[in-house]
């Protein structure tokens, strides 16, 4: 089995491959790549993301990496709507499961007006590559 460093070394070639950038997959779907890893490698992965962003996000590149931390997005949206502190109080009174359901509704997850997707869509440009991070930190929000 390949180690984390070897696997991380493949990312740059994959995301800069013209087939990936031009959506030339089997079904011409939007190019995507899911990089899963053992949580013990979190800091190694974070450092590698910084490296990749420095490498790609230059004036010479026609690509740009925009990183979005799902956990941070959720916190920002809840804070902006005035729900974050209310969620803490509600969790004390009604429990985590109740707050989770209320949070999903507040974020409008899985609806056409999904606030997390809207947040990302408003901040991307053509030729951007989106890195969605913080998935584990946001658990179980993403499991809708």
* Model pLDDT, residue 114: 92
* Model pLDDT, residue 144: 44
Alpha-carbon span 79 to 64, nearest angstrom: 28
* Model pLDDT, residue 141: 65
Q: Measured between alpha carbons, how far is residue 13 from residues 36, 38, 64, 82, 108 in Å?
A: 17, 22, 15, 42, 36
* Model pLDDT, residue 60: 83
* Model pLDDT, residue 25: 62
* Model pLDDT, residue 100: 87
* Model pLDDT, residue 57: 94
* Model pLDDT, residue 17: 87
Residue numbers of the chain with a pLDDT score lower than 70: 24-29, 141-144
* Model pLDDT, residue 130: 94
Closest to 32 (Cα-Cα) out of 44, 40, 21: 21
* Model pLDDT, residue 27: 66
């Amino acid at each position: 089995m390949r180690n984390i460093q070897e696997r991380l070394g493949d990312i740059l070639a994959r995301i800069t491959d013209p087939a990936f950038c031009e959506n030339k997959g089997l079904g011409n779907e939007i190019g995507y790549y899911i990089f899963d890893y053992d949580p013990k490698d979190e800091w190694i992965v974070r450092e590698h993301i910084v490296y990749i962003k420095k490498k790609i996000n230059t004036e010479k590149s026609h690509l740009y990496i925009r990183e979005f931390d799902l956990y941070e997005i959720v916190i920002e949206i809840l804070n902006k709507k005035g729900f974050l502190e209310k969620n803490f109080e509600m969790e004390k009174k009604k429990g985590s499961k109740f707050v989770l359901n209320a949070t999903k509704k507040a974020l409008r997850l899985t609806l056409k007006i999904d606030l997390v997707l809207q947040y990302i869509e408003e901040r991307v440009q053509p030729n951007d590559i989106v890195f969605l991070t913080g998935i584990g930190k946001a658990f179980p929000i993403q499991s809708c």
